[in-house]
Amino acid sequence: MTRDQMVWILALAATACVRREGVESAPAEKPAPPAPAVIAPTIAPEAAPPAASGADCDRLRSRLRWKVVQGASAMSARPAGEAREQWKSFPVDCRDGEYFALGAAILHSLGAGRLDAGDLQVASTLEALRLGLDKEPDDLTLLAYMAYLGSLDASLAPPLPVDACTRARALAAPSDAAEARTHRGFVAYVCGHAALRAGQAAQAAEELATIEISTFPDAVLRRIQALVAAGKRKEARALKQEASRRIETQKHLLGVNESDAPLLRKQLAAALK
């Protein structure tokens, strides 16, 4: 073996050794680092709308009352449609007894069909007043409107509660003088109707005689009915002209339909025949 061959052999052996050591001693390939976790963004729940205050509800009711009166006396259907939209948009916090009484007034006086507030559908005055009675059984406006519609046609309203007068009297009167006068008129109206239905004619006549405001067009008519039932026909006849005038001039009060007048005139004639 020549010296050059020996050098080549030794070089090959050294190269093989280095390759072998490189394979054996090479560090293991590190695994790829895990992908960073995807964290979904935190979405705060949608805040609930603030509760309507008592003042907010009063403003909404006042606007709706006026719109219902406008709708009953207008030549176009626009105010009636606006009244329906206002009723539908009432916050849940404002849906008290008067809210349902106003719904019944829209259905009766504006000839409107079913009221749909999304989560609340009302198809008739009877249904609206029942819902109001369940919600706030001592609301004075609700009780008075029940008395009016029920005397007009029993199918339009649930029966007036037997303790309706007690409920009405228990309500505190407003501090404002004009509002207190209106309050007293509605209390007398409810109590007069309740007494008349209970067969207490003399008491009903006394209650209805104290009304100083325009409540509903049947107030004098109901007083006449009470006087006749109490045996005071002459006194009742003396009120005929006033009863007829109220029926004709109060067609556009809140919650009154023009078509009520013929029925009220018929009831008046029946009472005095």
Output the domain CATH number for residue 156: 1.25.40
Last residue of a domain, one of 136, 156, 172: 136
45 occurs within a structural domain: no
| Whether 165 and 131 share a structural domain | no
Q: Which residues span the domain enclosing 221?
A: 138-273
| Whether 123 and 212 share a structural domain | no
Phi then psi for 45, rounded to 5 degrees?
-60, 145
pLDDT of residue 20: 44
Report the predicted TM-score, pTM, of the whole model to 2 decimal places. 0.80
pLDDT of residue 214: 80
| Whether 79 and 197 share a structural domain | no
20 occurs within a structural domain: no
39 occurs within a structural domain: no
| Whether 272 and 143 share a structural domain | yes
69 occurs within a structural domain: yes
Per residue in 150-166, pLDDT (tens digit) is: 999 999 999 999 999 99
149 occurs within a structural domain: yes
| Whether 143 and 112 share a structural domain | no
pLDDT of residue 205: 98
Low-confidence ranges of the chain (pLDDT < 70): 1-50, 74-76, 112
Last residue of a domain, one of 104, 136, 168: 136
| Whether 233 and 264 share a structural domain | yes
| Whether 120 and 143 share a structural domain | no
Number of domains in the chain: 2
* Residue 51, beta-bridge partner list: none
Site of tokens 């013929």: 262
CA distance 190 to 145: 9
| Whether 224 and 175 share a structural domain | yes
Last residue of a domain, one of 73, 102, 136: 136
